[in-house]
Copies of this chain bind each other. A is one copy, B any other.
Amino acid sequence: MSKNASVRRAPRMADVAAMAGVSGMTVSRVLRDPTCVTPETLQRIEQAIEATGYVANRVAGSLASRRTNIVGLIVPSLRNSLFVETIQGVSDVLGTSHPLMIADSGYSLAGEEAAIRAFLGQRVCAVVLHNTTHTDRSRVMLREAGIPCVETGNLTRQPIDMVASFSNRKAARAMTAYLIARGHRRIGFASLPTDDNDRAEERRAGYQAALSRARMPVDPALTIEVAAGLAGGAEALTYFLSLTPAVDAVFLSGDVLATGAVLEAKRRRIAIPKRLAIVGTDDSDLQERISPAVTTLRFPRYDIGRRAASMLLTRLDGRPVDPASVDLGFEIVERATA
């Protein structure tokens, strides 16, 4: 037994070419366009690929062609099912032709910058960012890299390149206006921490804008920040119930805060919505099936992911994307808690 046989290395394109009796270039072409050779040649090459178990080396291919087909995606956290919806949308559109590299920023701009740097080192061909605020360096690096970029977390007016999202501000304003229209006059607002989180910030601005437009006072005591999770919602509810004069509605912006608040309200036997209306964001089958069913804002997160990916593919295909800013909108789902 020869040494070559015992120490088997991965087959290279040249091995396949030799076995099929063609040049390496022909194999390379066939892998990208099977119709560009005669059927007989194609068949010989396919047989050789099968026989050797050849798997094309994309690393070498990428170096030679100076581009990869890897798409990089950064979310604040992987744990949050909201972001995961968008990731699934991106993944579904990209398929296996464009591998997806995923990193989490840990909700920090520095974390995002580190992830961008790592991605650029891998020479990703495009990036998807959830955040719409970034460090200066992040912006510069992405601009210099000259690759397409879609932001998905908020319909920012200053995208790095493209954006597919909804307006957090408009959505929060619409929901607040909805409460006002239904006669509520003292409305509490709880959000996730706003540092490095433009979405939470925008929503608070939307809440305040709705109050101002209705000529209602903006009481700082009615705006709080809580941690994500059911516990955060419960905490917010507890706080708002402690206020004098009493609030008659609360808007819990983000994550499952509203569900947490409703569960806590039930535990305390608070009448919903009679004594207190509760509305939330990020509709889910949980918010729908809990009793009373929660009135929420619904965001098209999966579609945002799909749209973001298709915008990237269009640009990678050399075609222009117009408009570069796509508003996928939002929806108020009226149920029983308001």
- List residues of A whose CB falls within 8 A of some B CB: 10, 53, 55-60, 62-63, 68, 70, 77-79, 81, 84-85, 87-88, 91, 96, 99-104, 114-115, 117-123, 140-141, 144-145, 229-231, 234, 256, 259-260, 263, 266-267, 285-286, 289-291
Nearest CB in chain B to that of A115: its residue: B96
Complex CA gap A267/B292 in Å reads 10
- Residues on the B chain within 8 Å of A10, using CB: 144-145
Given A60-B63, A102-B100, A286 and B230 contact (CB-CB distance below 8 Å): yes
Cβ contact within 8 Å between A88 and B96: no
Give the distance to chain B from A100, nearest Cβ to Cβ, in Å: 6
Complex CA gap A140/B8 in Å reads 14
Q: Which 9 A-B pairs have the closest CB atoms?
A: A78-B88, A58-B121, A96-B118, A81-B81, A55-B120, A59-B62, A102-B102, A230-B285, A230-B289
Complex CA gap A55/B117 in Å reads 7
Give the distance to chain B from A245, nearest Cβ to Cβ, in Å: 29
Cβ contact within 8 Å between A78 and B87: yes
Cβ contact within 8 Å between B229 and A56: no
- Residues on the B chain within 8 Å of A145, using CB: 10
Give the distance to chain B from A305, nearest Cβ to Cβ, in Å: 10
Give the distance to chain B from A104, nearest Cβ to Cβ, in Å: 6
Give the distance to chain B from A130, nearest Cβ to Cβ, in Å: 14
- Residues on the B chain within 8 Å of A122, using CB: 58-59, 70, 99
Give the distance to chain B from A58, nearest Cβ to Cβ, in Å: 5
